[in-house]
Structure 1
Amino acid sequence: MSKKVAILYGGLSTEREVSLNTGKSIFKALKTKEYHTELIDADRNLAEKLKESSPDVAVIALHGKYGEDGCVQGLLEILGIPYTGPGVMASSLAMNKIMTKKILVFEGIPTPDFMVLNGRDAGPEELTGQILKKMEPPLVLKAASQGSSIGICFAFDKHEIGTGLTECLKYDTEILVEQFVKGREFTVSVMGNEDPVALPILEIVSSTGVYDYHAKYTPGASDHFVAGLPANTENTIKDLALRTYKAIGCIGLSRVDFLLAEDGKPYVIEVNTSPGMTATSLFPDAAKAAGISFPDLIEKLVNYALEAHKSRK
């Protein structure tokens, strides 16, 4: 008997539109396999919908708040439904950029210098003063718990810091301030449970030089391709990706983003535990470069989910 797969998509976050595209792409891929597949919008009635559907496994095609921060993962564990991707703790840690940075530092994994701001009781002007006491532009300002490059601003001089903070504070009261590192952007897709595998490294080039929301989801705004790196650099980056994956506690799949500085030093920027699976997405293209078709990739993720569920019992 074919397994019943529920694809959870949509949701309540600022990344709903991206999630809808991801869910539809996965639905189309699984239709080529022997599964009974259903799309479920992860709204506030999700628990009731899941009880009614009673799937054998859930594919999480959600991005952002409530979808990749451990909330849905916790609900699925309570209901006893296997699900794709990392568990509650890893999802929560990776979603919070500040916690991710602290883990990277603790593990000795290179990441750009940073500081943390609390905007609950201070405005952009006061926060700018706090930054300039410790750091100098160029800087990257990031809302602590957003994805898809939402709530990320660049400040290349002192005057841009206040404007960037105002934008970031729309999304979160905690702000990560990171030293800007000039270099090339790379990403490593990792999949697996106990013995994860790093897929071919992709280099990312955007038309504006910044891989932001527009570049990620607008066809033609960015390009990515298998990186042509020296073997020792490639091995170093893949090793750092696997170390990061394990340090956060990931299983199933995640994507680790890097900057390779002009001096040749790689830096881990962040971890995405629910990477996009659309026509312009990085993870499917990395899998394709490894000889894995999109339908086969999703089937592997389903199998990892079932395997992980058994180990949780």
Structure 2
Amino acid sequence: MKKKLKVLVLFDGTSPTTLDQDFSKELKTKDWKTEADVMAALGKLGHSAEHLAIYDDVDLVRQKMESCAPDVLFNLVEQFKNRTGFDQNIVSFFEMQDLPFTGCGSTGLTLCKHKGISKKILHYHRIHVPNFLVIPRGQRITRPKQLKFPILVKPVKEEASYGISQASFVQNEEQFRERVAFIHEKYNSDAIAEEYIEGRELYVSLMGNVRLTVFPIRELVFREVPPDEPKIATYKAKWDEEYRKRWGLRHLPFADNRWLRAYRSSTDAREQALFY
């Protein structure tokens, strides 16, 4: 029989929080569904779970560890003071305190957040990546000739497709300069420009350290997007339910082309349900 653990679930606070603040009301809302699902799953598995929200005081973690003495931290923290750039710093605190936690370590978070650095690492290990260029703020916006159109332009460090829209797909010099300048000004961020490669949007989740568990592959299917338009996982494509419905965007189990053609050609709702 597996050991039942005492788990402290950490998640983001949207305003200053206290040590034993009750979030039972928030956990019943749609915006807190992930946190609620984690708490419920841990309880269902027989583990004892408490929660703590962090906004601007990391010392709350130390205080909670003293009073709660959990076996592990289940880390859902993605920001600090509503700024997503500091999630790796939160994890660094866990590491410095020798606290066992779930999720990626601080080095991994730092490297994967910078799209330019992560692509260089992949390329070093002979994994193919699109040709790309990082354009820092304050630098003259120019495109080297080896970077071919069409090009995708986006913030170099943002995540969850923040800063990506259909306007990110540029096909000429004017669009290129305008979009890079927009990223610099709107997001106060360096920009990365990479050659657009038509393909499929696949999601693969991994769990583990030395021995990895690979979860079933999922695909973002663009059912109503015209064939001559780029299929991009924009911010709206991920987070705007009305937009997703309008363009027939679905996350489906990955399958071969015959399976996808059968789904895309089906107009019967009962037939489409079979593909889930």
| Both proteins in one fold, TM over 0.5 | yes
Tell me the residue number matched to 1:214. 236
Rg larger in 1 or in 2? 2
Corresponding residue SS for 1:73: helix
In the aligned structure 2, how far is the partner of 1:19 from the partner of 1:59? Answer: 19
Corresponding residue SS for 2:86: coil
Count of aligned positions: 218
Query: What's the offset of the Cα at 1:166?
Result: 3.4
Greater relative contact order, per chain length (Cα 8 Å cut-off, separation 6+):
1
Query: What's the offset of the Cα at 1:97?
Result: 0.9
Q: Does 1:156 align with 2:153?
A: no
Q: Does 1:28 align with 2:40?
A: yes
In the aligned structure 2, how far is the partner of 1:107 from the partner of 1:183? Answer: 22
Specify which of 120, 133, 137 is matched with residue 102 of structure 1: 120
Q: Deviations over 1:253-290 (max 9, x none)?
A: xxxxxxxxxxxxxxxxxxxxxxxxxxxxxxxxxxxx9x
Tell me the residue number matched to 1:227. 254
* Letter of the 1:137 counterpart: F
* Letter of the 2:171 counterpart: D
Q: Deviations over 1:114-170 (max 9, x none)?
A: 111111x23xxx31xx12544232111121211110123523322322332233223
Q: C-alpha root-mean-square deviation of aligned residues, in Å?
A: 2.7
> Structure 2 matches for 1:1-313, cutoff 5 A?
2-10=4-12, 20-45=32-57, 47-54=58-65, 55-63=70-78, 64-67=84-87, 70-119=88-137, 121-122=138-139, 126-127=140-141, 130-131=142-143, 133-153=145-165, 154-158=168-172, 159-169=174-184, 170-206=186-222, 209-219=231-241, 221=244, 222-229=249-256
In the aligned structure 2, how far is the partner of 1:40 from the partner of 1:176? Answer: 36
* Letter of the 2:157 counterpart: S
Q: Deviations over 1:53-78 (max 9, x none)?
A: 113211121334222xx211111112
Q: Aligned residues: percent identity? A: 24
1:184–1:203 contact (8 Å) kept in structure 2: yes
Say if 1:164 and 1:62 are closer, same or farther in 2 by CA, change over 3 A: farther
* Letter of the 1:212 counterpart: T
2:163–2:235 contact (8 Å) kept in structure 1: no
Say if 1:164 and 1:22 are closer, same or farther in 2 by CA, change over 3 A: farther
Corresponding residue SS for 1:31: helix
- Give unpaired runs (5+ residues) of structure 1: 13-17, 231-288, 290-313
Higher strand fraction: Structure 1 or Structure 2?
A: 1
